[in-house]
Each structure stands twice: as C-alpha cells, then as structure tokens.
A and B are shown apart, each in its own frame.
Chain A
C-alpha cells in the first residue's frame, strides 16, 4: 500500500449551540482530490509520474432560527460554494 493522504470528503458538525434563540452550527468541511485506482496509483509511483493528493479542511459558521436538518445545512454549504471534490 502506498502511504499517502487519503481522507473522506464531506462535512461534519463540530459544535452546536443554542444561544438566545439562535442555533449556531459550526461545520468543518473536507474536500479532496479523488483517489486513484490502486493499480494505477502503484504504477504512477513506480514510474515517478507527477501527481498530487490534495486535501483541504475549512470551517463554516451557520445560523438558524431552528434546529436545522442535514438538508438545510447542506443547502447553506452549497450556497457558499462548498465542493467536496477538488478537481485535478
């Protein structure tokens, strides 16, 4: 196995707080370049072919007047142009 970064893209709530009627939701987002197929990846290493495995983690703070659903959080992240996939 080639020992390089491999993560799962997406988002997760890292903090949720109800403050004076407002739900403050802190979300950590993770974006990454797609993994290569394992055999191809091995061959790329054998041949020392230029390639990358970029991973990015960001932080978003969301406000709601109610306890949000997953879809509502996803909708706000979409509006902020969160994309879990980093295109090569």
Chain B
C-alpha cells in the first residue's frame, strides 16, 4: 500500500491492516426464545385388534428414540448487511459438557437471527458474544478514552478502533466432525437404536489459562442422517381361523454437528439429535376359513399409500415383500450417511476480554 498501517507479529501474521475492516465487539446477547424441531410421526393401524398369531403392537410412538437437543434463538441488531460473527459462551466446559454450534444465521429486518443448537437440554443457556465490522458499529460504543489507536483506509473510513474492543482470537484451528453419528447396529425388531455414540473428535489450540472463560466461533457445517427400518409379517392358522398381519416401520434421526471446549487447550466436535421421526403401518385380517379368501386376498394386495406415506413407503404385497424398500421421501434429505465433516474452521477467544 502507498500509505496506511500494517502490524504483524513475529510469525508474520497480520494483526492490524488499515485497509481491512476489522471486527469489533458488538455486544453480548442472551436468547429470546428456545425451541425444538417437532417430531415427525404418524402411523395407521387397521384390523389388528384381537388378531391371533402374535401381531405386534409395541413401540408405535417414539419409544427408545434418543432425546433431541434444543435450539436457542437470538436476535442481534447489526447496522449493516454483513452478518455478525457470534462466539458461543457455553453453559459448561469439559468432557461432560453439552455440544453447541450455530445452525442458522439469517437477516430478519434490521436484525440478524442467530440460532444455536445445543445437543442436550440444560437449565442454563449459552450466551453469544457478537462482533461486526467497525463500519456497522455505532461510535457510541467507543469508550470515553482519549487515547488509543484508530486506523483509516484509503477512502478515509475507520477500519480499526482500539476503544471498541477489537476481536482478539488467541486460539483457533480446523476441526473435523465424526462421520456417522451412530455406529453399530441401528436397532433390533421394534426397538430402535439411533442415539449418538460416535467418539468425539478432538483438536488442540494454544493453551489458555481458564477453560470456563473461553468462547468459540464454529458454525455447524456437518450433518448426518440415519434411519432404521423393520418389517415383519406373519400368516397361518390360529385357533381354527386363518390370519395374516403385516407391520412396517421407519425411524430416523437427523443430526447436526456441534462443539465444546473440552479443556484449556482442547476443542471437540460431535453430533446432537436435531430432528427425528417415526412412521409405521400395521394391518391385519383374521376370519373363519370360509370367509378368509376375500380378506386375505385384500391383504395380499395391501399397499402402503396415502399422502403421509407417499414417497416413504413403496407398495408392499406378499409377492414383493422381499423387495420392499423405504425411500428417503419428503422427510429425509438422505439416509445412513453424512455430509461436510471436514475443514470446519474455529476461533477461540475469551469472555473476559469483553465483559
């Protein structure tokens, strides 16, 4: 540059560049509301009452499904079009702390709506420490100090002001999220097993003095979606009557990556259950042998259908039973896989810099 200020440390990292619009402390924000993604559930049962031959009625709700995390919603006033950079002050730190990450950043009028997903429900709530380019911060935020350092770019716009608490990041790096959120068997018969059991991925950052003072910026980029399906059918004779029943279920969880401060030098990534669902279809017929042909024929032609199941279930009859598959449908973006697990940048700062 022809003129201006460029400050570097011993490693050559740029600390202040008068041509760059530095981020400064915008404010500390508590959530305005908290929510969870509603469960997506449904099912139908027909003619199964009193059916002999072990027609199954168990677990037609959300039994055995893992608990969902919760979503904290913040409204951050930012005078400009650039989104705020929001650091999370977690509810706790350490190897038992819940994981949290930003899942939504969107403009809402003159404010920005930030949503933080936390893997477990807690009595305390995460707090956001937000930063914005200096051009989007009111001058009234400046301290009354009559000394300090202020830089301007070649257009004369202020780009750094030491009186408005510039963002300081003493640590940072890149973290990879686990692949699958649940490894191993997905379930057994009507008992689903989709809880997060992946090992946390850990990465280190420059050692700090107090883990409980640390705040972090790390948006949730990775997600995983896993499903479990189980179907059973039976037919034959029971107490002199012919019977037939068929039940088909699909359970799924959609997981989002989230993070925690594990120690004064360790940052961890894992998943939380962001959304979940369960659908089933259960039909049966039982008739004395002399009436059975009609009902049995109808059941053989039984199709999973209707708006709810459109796309979720394919046609099922006895002749196609072995080819049954459950499509991702309208609810699952994909199944039994994961996306965006690598290259998630993070920054560490300290709440005490700004409190």
Contact = CB atoms under 8 A, between A and B. Distances in A.
Interface of A: 3-8, 14-15, 17, 19-20, 22, 24, 26, 28, 30, 44-45, 48-61, 63, 80
Contacts of A53: 234-236
B33 interface: no
A24 B337 contact: yes
Given A15-B336, A59-B187, 11 more contacts: A5-B235, A5-B321, A49-B237, A52-B238, A54-B54, A56-B230, A58-B229, A59-B227, A60-B185, A61-B226, A80-B185
Given A8-B322, A59-B230, A52 B235 contact: yes
B325 A48 contact: no
Contact of B233 (A5, A14, A15, A22): A5
Contacts of A22: 179
A58 B325 CA distance: 11
Contacts of A4: 235-236, 244, 318
B232 A55 contact: yes
Contacts of B208: none
Contacts of B230: 56-59
A19 B232 contact: no
Interface string B233-277: 111111110001000000000000000000000000000000000
Contacts of A7: 321-322
B322 A63 contact: no
Nearest to A21: B179
Given A19-B179, A20-B341, A50 B227 contact: no
B119 to A, nearest CB: 21
A27 B273 CA distance: 23
Interface residues of B, number: 42
B238 A50 contact: yes
Interface of B: 53-54, 179-180, 183-189, 226-240, 244, 289, 296-297, 300, 318, 321-322, 324-325, 335-338, 341-342
A52 B321 contact: no
A5 B237 contact: no
Given A55-B321, A57-B324, A63 B234 contact: no
A60 B228 CA distance: 8
B253 to A, nearest CB: 12
A69 B53 CA distance: 38
A1 to B, nearest CB: 12
A26 B53 CA distance: 31
Contacts of A50: 236-239
A30 B325 CA distance: 12
A20 B224 CA distance: 13
29 contacts: A3-B318, A4-B235, A4-B244, A7-B321, A8-B322, A19-B179, A19-B338, A20-B341, A24-B336, A26-B335, A28-B324, A28-B325, A45-B237, A50-B238, A52-B54, A52-B234, A54-B232, A54-B233, A55-B233, A56-B189, A56-B230, A57-B229, A57-B230, A57-B322, A58-B187, A58-B230, A60-B185, A60-B186, A61-B226
Contact of A61 (B180, B325, B341): B180
Contacts of A6: 318
Contacts of B185: 60, 80
* Cβ-closest 6 pairs across A and B: A57-B231, A52-B236, A59-B229, A54-B234, A51-B236, A56-B232
A6 B236 CA distance: 12
Nearest to A30: B322
Nearest to B239: A50
A48 B300 contact: no
Contacts of A3: 296-297, 300, 318
Contacts of B228: 59
A38 B338 CA distance: 47
Given A7-B322, A26-B336, A55-B321, A63 B300 contact: no
Given A5-B233, A45-B237, A49-B237, A61 B336 contact: yes
Contacts of A17: 337
A61 B336 CA distance: 7
